[in-house]
Chains A and B, each alone.
Chain A
Amino acid sequence: MQKNKIKKLNWMVYTGGIITAIIFIIVLIGRFYTPYDPSAMNGQLRLAGPSLAHIMGCDNFGRDIFSRVVEGAGTTLTIAVLVILIGASVGIFIGALTGYFGGVVDEVFMRVCDLITAFPSIMLALIIIAILSPSEKNIIWCLAILFIPSFARVTRSEMVKQKSQNYVKLAKLMGAGSFRIIFVHILPNMVPVLLPTITIGFNNAVLAEASMSFLGVGVSANKPSLGRMLSESQNFLVTGAPWYAISVGLAIVLLILGLSLLGEGLQQWRRNR
């Protein structure tokens, strides 16, 4: 029984990890090399079907869809990585300090978090970006700030649990200062909790960016992004080029599937530890 469970979670972590790793590698290579120039148009290849030369076919301007998907996934992943980098480090930092020290600051901060999370984050992001004008930089900052509360909450509640542990008391008795206790002793003990949170957050960031681009408030129009391409490809779904939407959709599904499996697997691994 126990063994089965561990097998199952290994399966999720491994499969998710491998899918995610392959996508990341392809995207990384794509930063330097794609089979075709993603923005090179070719009138003769308008909406050409998949072939050996163009495995995903061509779009309405005769551009190679595979190259554009790789480029678009790159845009999406870059945004997601930056959002999580900022959101997680700020959120973990704030959550660690408020959880450790408690008091009024903690109280106020948690109410602010409640306020932010009271609204669906994508809707909030849409409104803010619609006001600020859509640009890559605005999207990153906006999503990063909206993602801070989820990291801060998880970190804070784990910190409250950890700070009363005996090993923390012993560190105090050795004369360790608060910052040493928080960052050298407690934070490494929170990795099993933070890892799945970061993975799931990353998943949500990918979805958020894709949804926003799909709805037209994402990155600028001349830059391929998975969400924007999906919205464009809809026009040709029934009229001649279903492979366009299918290719882009498949890329999104694989990315989300890999990340979800990884996040869910890590979460189960933590619970069973």
Chain B
Amino acid sequence: MLEVKDLRIKFISRPDKYAVDGVSFEINDGEILGLVGESGSGKSVTAMTISGLLQKSLIEFEGNVLVGGKEMLATDREDIHEMQGTDIAVVFQEPMTALDPVMKVGPQVEEAIRIHYPEISAEERKKMALDAMKQAELYDVENVYEKYPHTLSGGMLQRICIAAAIISKPKLLIADEPTTALDVTTQSHIIALLKKINKEQGTTILFISHNLAVVHALCDKVIVMQRGKIVENGSADEVFNNPKNDYTKNLLASIPSRDKRY
């Protein structure tokens, strides 16, 4: 599904170092891959490259990113626009700021359909949005559809963002720390929701997080990044129970253990 080959990214504003330095990995159809690492290790830059959000004029890049066999790096803007919102969808860390503040949330869920399938009628589109919102486990969707973002809670907004992401049945869903801004209970609900979407729709997910415990609960495979490089790569159980790399061991040690938490 997703294949990243020897990806190197350097920002022109910071020519002294690679933000992503020779990263290679792949995700098979229907898998959930966890990407962990400390702040500044290059997780978001990797995700932004895959989703085509990085402005080419600001970076130097090498390597390949193949989404469903299509190259993301060398393609021109038009083709990337075509893939965004259809093949690839993204959920952000901050649901509070991710939505347009002056637009009702319902029409925002429809955005990808409105852009990519103009032939679909307004009523049909609204039905799709309500469906997606139900799949994102929102209740009273007819009512929520008419709300503005500032009237909803963080957890509900993140569900709206997820609904907006899955409405077009993307092949690859990138979730960049989707739960970091939420409280613990909501966090676990959102994780469960992502797992459900993955199971029911077979959506491939790239899940980025600081939180190794969450990653272990959700993901099939895990990649650990440090300073732009991959330092550990394996199945979630392998990495979690039997880390080979010292850095991963430290990351694991820094998680409060489940027994001690309360």
Q: What's the least CB distance linking A178 to chain B, in Å?
A: 10
With contact pairs A166-B92, A170-B92, A180-B115 given, residues A175 and B84 touching in the complex (Cβ less than 8 Å)? yes
Interface contact B98-A174, CB-CB below 8 Å = no
Interface contact A166-B94, CB-CB below 8 Å = yes
- Is A239 at the interface (CB under 8 A from chain B)? no
Interface contact B53-A175, CB-CB below 8 Å = no
- Is A176 at the interface (CB under 8 A from chain B)? yes
- CB-nearest residue of chain B to A180: B115
- The secondary structure that dominates the B interface is mixed
Interface contact B90-A173, CB-CB below 8 Å = yes
- Is A171 at the interface (CB under 8 A from chain B)? yes
Interface contact A174-B97, CB-CB below 8 Å = no
Complexed CA–CA distance, A177 and B98 (Å): 17
With contact pairs A166-B97, A169-B53 given, residues A174 and B111 touching in the complex (Cβ less than 8 Å)? yes
- Is A43 at the interface (CB under 8 A from chain B)? no
A:137-189 near B, CB below 8 Å: 165-167, 169-177, 180, 185, 188-189
User: Size range of the interface on B?
Assistant: 20 to 34
Q: What's the least CB distance linking A169 to chain B, in Å?
A: 6
Interface contact B98-A166, CB-CB below 8 Å = yes
Residue of B98, B99, B100, B111 with highest tally of chain A CB at under 10 A: B100
With contact pairs A175-B81, A175-B82, A177-B81 given, residues A170 and B99 touching in the complex (Cβ less than 8 Å)? yes
Contact of A172 among B53, B89, B99, B161 (CB under 8 A): B53
- CB-nearest residue of chain B to A174: B85
Interface contact B81-A173, CB-CB below 8 Å = no
Q: What's the least CB distance linking B244 to chain A, in Å?
A: 35
- The secondary structure that dominates the A interface is helix
Interface contact B98-A167, CB-CB below 8 Å = yes
Residues of A within 8 A of B90 (CB): 170, 173
- Is B166 at the interface (CB under 8 A from chain A)? no
Complexed CA–CA distance, A172 and B103 (Å): 16
Q: What's the least CB distance linking A202 to chain B, in Å?
A: 23
Interface contact A175-B112, CB-CB below 8 Å = yes
A1-37 interface bits toward B, Cβ cutoff 8 Å, 1 = contact, 0 = none:
0000000000000000000000000000000000000
A:181-226 near B, CB below 8 Å: 185, 188-189, 191
Residues of A within 8 A of B97 (CB): 165-167
- Is B234 at the interface (CB under 8 A from chain A)? no
Interface contact B98-A175, CB-CB below 8 Å = no
Contact of A176 among B86, B99, B102, B115 (CB under 8 A): B115
Interface contact A172-B92, CB-CB below 8 Å = no
Can you identify 16 A-B contacts, CB atoms within 8 angstroms?
A: A165-B97, A167-B97, A167-B101, A169-B98, A170-B99, A170-B161, A170-B164, A172-B53, A173-B85, A174-B85, A174-B112, A174-B164, A177-B115, A188-B103, A189-B100, A189-B101
Beyond A166-B94, A173-B88, A191-B102, 8 additional contacts (C-beta under 8 Å) are A167-B97, A167-B101, A169-B53, A170-B161, A173-B52, A175-B81, A180-B115, A189-B102
Query: Which residues of A approach B to under 8 Å, CB–CB?
Result: 165-167, 169-177, 180, 185, 188-189, 191
